């Protein structure tokens, strides 16, 4: 807990250009942001709605958006805020290339849930992490283990780990299906009341939508496995290894059902909220609008839109900041005029002049964003 109070957080100046990068020491930094929002006049009321988040029924927050807009930073800040409120919270990164560990400056690899150093009640995991090069040099590779768990371990032996890893990781949707099966295990933990809330950090837009349809993907994978077994059993040298009786199809079906359960849960507004993260540029806003359309089509409930990296009011009037501010105003106005986005609650998160990295920075950021 001590790290949370670390005064280094005070060094996170909110100024966006060099001239103002160090505000006067006596001025509270948060006040730079909260006392005025220059561009908010035409927008939906700025309301983090954090109170509602801690008292409501939702247990799952799924954070998604375009690549690089700050999804991990926002997800980590929310998890931090929930944990600081005393709610046992788990943050799970479901990205193919994780950055959650870097954000917390802690090694989170290994597909395990671990406590976050220096933050009470906060746990984290990076799941579905498969480094083909590292894993394939290891005979008991992650994929073989996974296949073993679902009763397809028999496939691993004749093909060899290297080939198998390469083949499966190139199969569209396999990564998401793996992440989804891991999530199903985590959901079971949740049902045992281990965590009050779970924040899911997902990869760029398409990946989030893929996760939603992972049930279909899993079914495709199971179909593919079935075909592979049939094909291989016609090759005399492999016949004995692929005897159908050795494959536990009941276990596979159980897994498929578990995944279908997770899918349903993610579509239930009583349990889940999708949070869309964007930045104030026309391109990002346009993509967020499309993202919300797709979420709605998939029955995934979204309520909040976070516009991250907004130039703070403390930014000066130099040419760079003035042009940037104008562009942001245009982008923010796009939101208020967009049919898909204008109904969402809007939260503006300021651009900090340092990375959102490490517990003190996240602690500071979480208080600025979630009110
Ligand atoms: N408001 C902010 N102010 C300053 N830096 C920020 C802010 N938000 C995010 N960043 C920085 O931007 C970089 C990318 O952020 P982050 O990893 O959260 O994005 P992401 O959307 O999760 O990326 P990816 O799509 O690659 O997973 C990081 O260095 C992070 O510290």
Q: For a ligand 1 pocket test, name from 12, 32, 66, 72 the mutation site with the most ligand atoms within 8 angstroms of its C-beta.
A: 72
Whether ligand 1 lies within 6 angstroms of the CB of 349 is answered as yes
Q: Report which DSSP code applies to 123.
A: E
Decide whether any atom of ligand 1 lies within 6 Å of the 75 Cβ. Answer: no
Contact present, 26 and 165 (Cβ < 8 Å): no
Consecutive H or E run containing 62: strand 60-65
pLDDT at position 49 is: 81
For residue 59, the CA-to-ligand 1 centroid distance in Å is 24
CA of 143 to the centre of ligand 1 (A): 30
- Ligand 1 atom closest to the Cα of residue 73 is 18
Q: Is 313 in the pocket of ligand 1 (CB under 6 A)?
A: no
pLDDT at 98: 75
User: Which pLDDT score, from 0 to 100, does residue 4 have?
Assistant: 40
* Total domains present in the chain: 1
* Residue 302 three-state SS: strand
Domain CATH for 156: 3.40.50.300
Residue ranges making up the domain that contains 298: 2-369
Q: What token pair was written down for 76?
A: 């980590």
Q: How far is CA 359 from CA 111, 198, 280, in A?
A: 21, 18, 26
Rounded to whole angstroms, the Cα distance separating 96 from 173 reads: 11
Q: Is 32 in the pocket of ligand 1 (CB under 6 A)?
A: no
**Rounded to 5 degrees, what are φ and ψ at 208?**
-60, -45
Residue bearing the CA closest to ligand 1, atom 13 = 70
CB 43 within 8 A of CB 305: no
Q: How far apart are CA 121 and CA 237, in angstroms?
A: 54
Residue numbers in the chain where pLDDT is lower than 70:
1-48, 96, 128-181, 189-192, 204-230, 232-253, 255-256, 259
The pick from 93, 355, 363, 369 for probing ligand 1's pocket by mutation, whose C-beta has the most ligand atoms within 8 angstroms, reads: 355
What pLDDT was estimated at residue 182? 72
Distances in Å between the Cα of 129 and the Cα atoms of 56, 97, 220, 254, 292 are 32, 7, 21, 23, 27
* ipTM tops 0.85: yes
- The candidate with the shortest Cα–Cα distance to 307, out of 326, 327, 288, is 288
96 ligand 1 Cβ < 6 A: no
Residue nearest to atom 15 of ligand 1 (CA): 70
At residue 340, φ and ψ (nearest 5 deg) are: -80, -30
d(CA 263, CA 210): 11
pLDDT tens for residues 11-50?
Answer: 333 334 544 333 333 333 333 343 233 333 333 444 568 8
- Residue-level pLDDT at 209: 64
- Residue 164 near residue 143, CB atoms below 8 Å: yes
pLDDT at position 20: 39
Contact call for residues 64 and 291 (beta carbons, < 8 A): yes
| 0.80 exceeded by pTM | no
Q: Would you state the pLDDT for residue 24?
A: 36
């Amino acid at each position: 807990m001590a790290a949370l109070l670390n005064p280094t957080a005070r060094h996170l100046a909110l100024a966006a250009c060099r001239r103002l990068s160090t505000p006067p020491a006596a001025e509270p930094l948060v006040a730079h942001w909260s006392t005025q929002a220059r561009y908010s006049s035409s927008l939906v009321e700025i309301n983090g709605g954090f109170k509602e988040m801690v008292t409501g029924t939702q247990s799952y927050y799924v954070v998604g958006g375009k690549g690089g807009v700050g999804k991990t930073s926002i997800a980590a800040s929310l998890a931090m805020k929930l944990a600081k409120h005393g709610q046992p919270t788990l943050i799970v990164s479901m990205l193919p290339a994780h950055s959650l560990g870097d954000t917390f400056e802690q090694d989170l690899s290994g597909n395990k849930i671990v406590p976050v150093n220096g933050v009470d009640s906060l746990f984290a995991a990076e799941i579905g992490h498969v480094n083909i090069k590292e894993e394939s040099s290891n005979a008991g590779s992650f994929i073989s283990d996974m296949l073993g768990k679902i009763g397809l371990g028999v496939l691993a032996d004749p093909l060899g780990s290297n080939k198998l890893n390469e083949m499966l990781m190139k199969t569209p949707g396999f990564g998401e299906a793996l992440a989804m099966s891991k999530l199903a295990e985590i959901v079971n933990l949740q049902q045992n009341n281990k965590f009050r809330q779970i924040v899911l950090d997902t990869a760029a837009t398409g990946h989030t939508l893929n996760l939603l349809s992972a049930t279909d993907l899993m079914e495709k994978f199971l179909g593919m496995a079935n075909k592979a077994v049939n094909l291989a059993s016609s090759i005399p040298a492999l016949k004995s290894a692929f005897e159908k009786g050795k494959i536990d199809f009941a276990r596979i079906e159980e897994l498929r059902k578990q995944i279908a359960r997770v899918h349903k849960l993610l579509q239930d507004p009583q349990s889940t909220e999708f949070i869309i993260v964007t930045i104030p540029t026309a391109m990002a806003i346009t993509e967020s609008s499309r993202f919300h359309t797709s979420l709605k089509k998939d029955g995934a409930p979204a309520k909040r839109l976070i516009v991250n990296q907004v130039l703070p009011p403390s930014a000066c009037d130099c040419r760079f900041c003035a042009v940037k501010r104008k562009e942001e105003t245009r982008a923010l106005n796009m939101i208020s005029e967009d049919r898909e986005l204008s109904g969402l609650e809007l939260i503006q998160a300021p651009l900090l002049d340092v990375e959102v990295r490490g517990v003190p920075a996240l602690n500071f950021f979480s208080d600025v964003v979630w009110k």
